[in-house]
Structure 1
């Protein structure tokens, strides 16, 4: 029997998917990601030797690496099938070096489907050193910046801080936006709406546009996109217009009707998928990528077998293969009709990113257009289905025809003043048939013609104030990073998560606010290391790193051109940089102890709210808010200590003040005089705890009765329930019988249904 071919992928789930459709000729193993990396205990970059990296086997990966070496020796051929990007290329390169493969073979597929993998098996190639060098350049710069700059922040601000090539710029974006909000000055404006009536008694509302001749309508603009330049800047101006309109005759000056087309969206990139998943599904970028990874690596579809449902999810390209376009067009034609087919060029438009896309990848799309969300729903988790539906609809919509609207604009004049009413009506839904992305109701205007008189029924003036720019959400921060050319698809989600886990930024009501610690770090970096947080410099560095990937530049000169000026500034900052004080921010409340202002401070364990008069007043919110339990004037019937009123998630109850030594409880009387049934006392079950020897007792919990040790909380022994019995039966069953019951492998905890 000929030796099998070993295929090495990154993740076990992808390995399982490939094993199911490749057959016994192939042995598929997972590397579990990187097997070697720079050491965490030291810099690991030799600056004097052309930034040579010192790669070492990652702690805990020795066993995995040994298994791969053993499998490679038994195989007649080894194919490296890590993810199709520069990091995947580096993983393949590291594995080849560790396995000492003389002529390593690399295969690449951007969707985990049988046709795509079989095609890749026919086209092995050598490892792409340009991609490896691009990885090494980014890794070297990130390590040099982090390991050399972070200790300075520790000394000048606080221990445990970090800086990064992308994270520091993302932090600056959040801080700059907060500065814009702080310095924002509201601007007053007014609107004036006229309620008008035609001779046919049809009513509509027109908005004031100013005096003089109307500007020409912008080509291709839909009615609701027209600018409102009324010139009503304050109440005095509004009152003047109202006075001039007293007794004025209103009439239709012009009516313009046109057909407006709205083009379908492009297929998803990583960034746009994260943005829509955030706004429509309320997924964080990190969750979006985690669920997308599951859909990419493969799902067992029952009789149809295991297959990947979407293409590779880290991409900034909107390109789509011709085969995928043809499949989508066939589906649209068969299910909606030929009138819904878009142009053949759909899916070949370019991205709006500030940098050219790495077009080796396709857009994020379903691997099979005919595999609708409804067809696979029973095999997916709720989150997988929601994200797959989003990706499938977006791709199908991108291949469909534009939506068409009849747009109407009516210009009304009175005493030299202009009013405008706009309306639109959907006449052909086009791509909206699938995407469902237009919730607006048709805004129909009555039939009027130029010169028709109108009756004024009412005038509604309203004051407005301009609003400051909105704080970033996770999704809008990703969008801003992409538009500025900061980071790449693989770094968006980790960066947004990192600035929050570092306590530089906190999320309140889905908006990102800079924490005092983040403000301090940003101030230090913008003052001492402006290039590190400069948007243009960071975007330019990304372009140079991309040039390494395409072979247009060598990685060592790119790293050196960045490092030498950075090292010079770092040396100067070691001496000149002052200590930075983390400024407290107003919390908008007063101290309940002394009446002074409460402020948000940054501590070792994150932000907290305390008194601004510290140390004279050491009040900390939350620390003193828990008042001692209220005594009810009765003695505990078990130990004689005072009984107190307490609260739990089930509501108020009466308990002993000597808890946990005395566990006496009873129900609290409700306002109507009734009482909640008291929790029954623990009942001995006649057996001893196998861990501490004390009695086992039957208790009542949130989900019914259960058995546990009477020595709780010192002893936390609790025998498992019997899944096939009721809770009461389980609690009463002998412990020895319960110990034999184990959860069946391959079952979901949620529904206890077997899964493949």
Structure 2
């Protein structure tokens, strides 16, 4: 059962609570007026917006207050004099946790205690109506602990939707706080705390300061890193297709050929050629069809090169293994004649009717394996080939609607269809769940609870959907029986419901004007999926046509054309028809009909590398592998980006050098912890604590013993990342001494260094592919030296630095930061050191002038984050320090950052000027010092 824990109320900054730090969009402070709860029941929820919605249904006999998320958590650091490996967890005493009230929540707890006392002393009850998942149960338990209420005697109510009927049902059948669910949450929190606090320091010693590891986040990074390496090791297969275009009217075929070629060559004002939809429309207009060559002389036509049969499978995804594989591919396709499929394809094209054939081959330096040689075969369709319809086969097929949303599929759909990130999706969903203000009705909860892995729908929900479908769309759109869906996750909690609207009659159109833009878009997505999932399937007529003929009757060729026509839209009536217009509509054909070839297109094709994970794809992978749970997907995605282990480029995740190095080190040290199967098993163990009464302390002990031994071995044996050196390609040479270069790892990731280091100190940044990156000059003048500046990228993103001469110290120049929009900002003036001691470490406090006025911070930041209390200083001391600060600021004014021509980029406060160009607009194509020298020479010669 949940342990009694030591309770410490502290005013020091505590760590962020696991899970949601605050529930819902509202973060407004609330205050309790003494006596308000007398003679009433007290209901405690997480957020003010949820409190407002619930209060509407409960009425005047209840007072509803919000905890504003978690109120207690494990402390972020040990008390003075205590050296425990994991703050807040006494590992030696069976993992006993010590919780403390979160900084800023002291008044919340005080108000809730006063309200609970007023309610209970006057005969009222205290109800805990926090969310229905583990985090919500844990919040309820922590609140009960603080209020002195026994968890097994507490009035705990849960509901999947904030509606009048759901609230009435929940308050009519309260339960005790689910201690098993609380224990599962405690076990996860302590497990994550152990890994984070004991593995992260190892990374500080073996990779770089400030890094972090996480039980789940590190495995998620591993997935991205492994996909990155699969892409790096990928060498494509080669295949060929021959597409034929046939006219139903043979007399027009010769004219159609020229007309079609002209049409394909057309471009729009953006330089784009016709789309598939446009080509299909052209073919339909000219009673023509497109078909693929599938058979030559009675044998399947499928010319291909499978690369693994030539160079072996990609079993070794280490850097050495990938390099060896790419070298084998390069050797296998060193000659344009190697593994050439064009003779086979050319012969097939001739038999199909292609004449005046020309073939060419171009070398692609970037292409790997067969893609190193780009081949083409072209010609015109001759009139010596005849074709007729060999067979026509039409089948009626159906498409069933998708299940209603669960957390992961909602995040995936919002990502792919709306471009929302997981955090953005969950913020909008939280608002829709907790309640939005509808004029005349007040706050209304529009959707059910948004953290769920169940596709289950209640009987009321099914009846509501069916009634709406029958009334709005008619009988033919309503199936005989409701549609039921099996959850893809075997561990799904079927007692929960899928994400759905609370009232199907509230159409997206009827509520849109009352919602914020994101909320309206997400509500439409949820509403459409819910209603569509209870509608009839869509019906298609799928047709396959075989055309037989060619040049030689003894060696016939066969083309296959396919198309489908929507016969009945079914659930598409609500969700919309996918790929509308991309389907080829075939003309009416019968066996024996003559057709005429007017265009042939042989085309070399290459298989695609595995796609990089998008947010939607990574969430899908996490779910399928059993990593994390609905409540954690968004935070996992956020954390791995915040830590700079992965970055999003064009909505796809790329592993950074830092992410790869950290993953390699963790795999070397903790193969079990980094194993996907092991992580899945740990998630299953946590589920068993909640559902099967598994002892959570025994579970932690089984984990910690082997983990402690592995950690000790890693401390002893793991080498430092900076000690590892790899040779760079021979063509990369040191610009100072012409020696070979090597790859090293530094605080900003991988870079190129002279192999003679430390005798030669040449170093150069490199791009993702390991190629040297030359300095990128920008049109910004260094305010300290007057020299040009260059753009560089570090662990925390791009910045500008002064161009230094050989042998000059970094102190000569200056670093300028960029804001989120890419504008240059001026450096802040240095802080004023005072004679006041830091309350945490006793080092001198620095005085700065902030947006809200003067403030005091430790001079040892970031090693110490102690803060002084300006408001508590006496007036005389304040006046003295303010005078010193004013003199200090006058001595160190904020510089105005300018372009090389003297145009100001920042204002006198160091902020970007209005309409200032971004750094991308300030990039120069050449070293401005060279161009300036060239201009001076030209002037002198003149």
Q: TM-score, normalised by structure 2?
A: 0.62
Instruction: Map Cα deviations across residues 651-672 of structure 1 (whole Å, 9 max, x no partner).
Output: xxxxxxxxx9xxxxxxxxxxxx
Give the total of aligned pairs: 623
Tell me if structure 1 keeps the 8 A contact 2:736–2:762: no
Alignment correspondent of 1:19: 55
Alignment correspondent of 2:343: 236
Give the CA deviation at 1:240.
2.1
Q: Structure 1 residues 393, 593: closer, same or farther in 2, change over 3 A?
A: farther
Q: Aligned pair 1:388/2:523, yes or no?
A: yes
Tell me if structure 1 keeps the 8 A contact 2:569–2:577: no
Separation in 2 of the partners of 1:534 and 1:264?
35
Counterpart of 1:54 in 2: which secondary structure?
A: strand
Q: Structure 1 residues 342, 406: closer, same or farther in 2, change over 3 A?
A: same
Give the CA deviation at 1:496.
0.6
Give the CA deviation at 1:629.
9.5
Separation in 1 of the partners of 2:732 and 2:417?
38
Give the CA deviation at 1:166.
1.1
In structure 1, which of residues 87, 107, 120 is the aligned counterpart of residue 170 of structure 2?
120
Q: Structure 1 residues 525, 424: closer, same or farther in 2, change over 3 A?
A: same
Tell me if structure 2 keeps the 8 A contact 1:372–1:392: yes
Alignment correspondent of 2:914: none
Give the CA deviation at 1:624.
4.8
In structure 2, which of residues 268, 289, 308 is the aligned counterpart of residue 204 of structure 1?
289
Tell me if structure 1 keeps the 8 A contact 2:294–2:560: yes
Separation in 2 of the partners of 1:559 and 1:235?
62
Q: How does 1:272-351 map to 2 (within 5 A)?
A: 272-342=409-479, 344-346=481-483, 348-351=484-487
Q: How does 1:675-690 map to 2 (within 5 A)?
A: none
Instruction: Map Cα deviations across residues 481-537 of structure 1 (whole Å, 9 max, x no partner).
Output: 111111110111100110000011111111111111111110011111111111111
In structure 2, which of residues 120, 131, 140 is the aligned counterpart of residue 92 of structure 1?
140
Q: Aligned pair 1:37/2:183, yes or no?
A: no
Alignment correspondent of 1:250: 387
Alignment correspondent of 1:464: 605
Alignment correspondent of 1:262: 399
In structure 2, which of residues 539, 547, 559 is the aligned counterpart of residue 419 of structure 1?
559
Tell me if structure 1 keeps the 8 A contact 2:246–2:599: yes
Q: TM-score, normalised by structure 1?
A: 0.77
Q: How does 1:363-374 map to 2 (within 5 A)?
A: 363-374=498-509
In structure 1, which of residues 410, 413, 428 is the aligned counterpart of residue 568 of structure 2?
428
Instruction: Map Cα deviations across residues 625-666 of structure 1 (whole Å, 9 max, x no partner).
Output: 244399xxxxxxxxxxxxxxxxxx9xxxxxxxxxx9xxxxxx
Q: How does 1:156-195 map to 2 (within 5 A)?
A: 156-195=206-245
Tell me if structure 2 keeps the 8 A contact 1:84–1:110: yes
Alignment correspondent of 2:648: 507
Give the CA deviation at 1:584.
10
> Which is worse superposed, 488-497 or 566-575?
566-575
Q: Aligned pair 1:616/2:752, yes or no?
A: no
Tell me if structure 2 keeps the 8 A contact 1:516–1:600: no
Alignment correspondent of 1:742: none
Tell me if structure 2 keeps the 8 A contact 1:37–1:56: yes
Tell me if structure 1 keeps the 8 A contact 2:734–2:754: no
Alignment correspondent of 1:81: 129
Give the CA deviation at 1:585.
13
Give the CA deviation at 1:392.
0.7
Tell me if structure 2 keeps the 8 A contact 1:516–1:601: no
Alignment correspondent of 1:54: 98
Separation in 1 of the partners of 2:481 and 2:737?
69
Give the CA deviation at 1:19.
2.2
Tell me if structure 2 keeps the 8 A contact 1:238–1:461: yes
Larger RCO (CA within 8 A; separation ≥ 6): 1
Q: Aligned pair 1:63/2:63, yes or no?
A: no
Q: Structure 1 residues 397, 146: closer, same or farther in 2, change over 3 A?
A: same
Alignment correspondent of 1:138: 188
Tell me if structure 1 keeps the 8 A contact 2:239–2:302: no
Tell me if structure 2 keeps the 8 A contact 1:21–1:306: no
Give the CA deviation at 1:198.
2.9
RMSD: 3.3
Q: Structure 1 residues 419, 295: closer, same or farther in 2, change over 3 A?
A: same
Counterpart of 2:476 in 1: which secondary structure?
A: helix
In structure 1, which of residues 439, 446, 458 is the aligned counterpart of residue 587 of structure 2?
446
Q: Aligned pair 1:407/2:542, yes or no?
A: yes
Alignment correspondent of 2:793: none
Q: Aligned pair 1:111/2:161, yes or no?
A: yes
Q: Aligned pair 1:565/2:711, yes or no?
A: no
Separation in 2 of the partners of 1:116 and 1:315?
17
In structure 2, which of residues 510, 518, 530 is the aligned counterpart of residue 375 of structure 1?
510
Tell me if structure 2 keeps the 8 A contact 1:369–1:396: yes
Alignment correspondent of 1:628: 781
Give the CA deviation at 1:209.
1.5
Instruction: Map Cα deviations across residues 660-690 of structure 1 (whole Å, 9 max, x no partner).
Output: 9xxxxxxxxxxxxxxxxxxxxxxxxxxxxxx
Give the CA deviation at 1:232.
5.1
Instruction: Map Cα deviations across residues 567-601 of structure 1 (whole Å, 9 max, x no partner).
Output: 111111110111123889999x9999999999999
Tell me if structure 1 keeps the 8 A contact 2:387–2:597: yes
Q: How does 1:545-560 map to 2 (within 5 A)?
A: 545-560=686-701
Instruction: Map Cα deviations across residues 395-419 of structure 1 (whole Å, 9 max, x no partner).
Output: 1111111111111000223334331
Q: Aligned pair 1:129/2:170, yes or no?
A: no
Alignment correspondent of 1:527: 668
Instruction: Map Cα deviations across residues 455-503 of structure 1 (whole Å, 9 max, x no partner).
Output: 2223210111111111111111001111111111011110011000001
Q: In structure 2, list runs of 5 or more residues that go unmatched.
A: 1-36, 79-85, 253-286, 306-340, 354-383, 550-554, 766-772, 784-818, 820-828, 830-885, 887-906, 912-942
Q: In structure 1, list runs of 5 or more residues that go unmatched.
A: 216-228, 631-648, 650-659, 661-691, 693-711, 717-756
Separation in 1 of the partners of 2:49 and 2:686?
31
Alignment correspondent of 1:485: 626
Counterpart of 2:708 in 1: which secondary structure?
A: helix
Separation in 2 of the partners of 1:595 and 1:259?
73
Give the CA deviation at 1:91.
1.0
Tell me if structure 2 keeps the 8 A contact 1:12–1:32: yes
Counterpart of 1:303 in 2: which secondary structure?
A: coil
Instruction: Map Cα deviations across residues 116-175 of structure 1 (whole Å, 9 max, x no partner).
Output: 112211111111111111111111211111111111111111111111111011000000
Alignment correspondent of 1:397: 532
Tell me if structure 1 keeps the 8 A contact 2:734–2:741: no
> Which is worse superposed, 410-419 or 60-69?
410-419
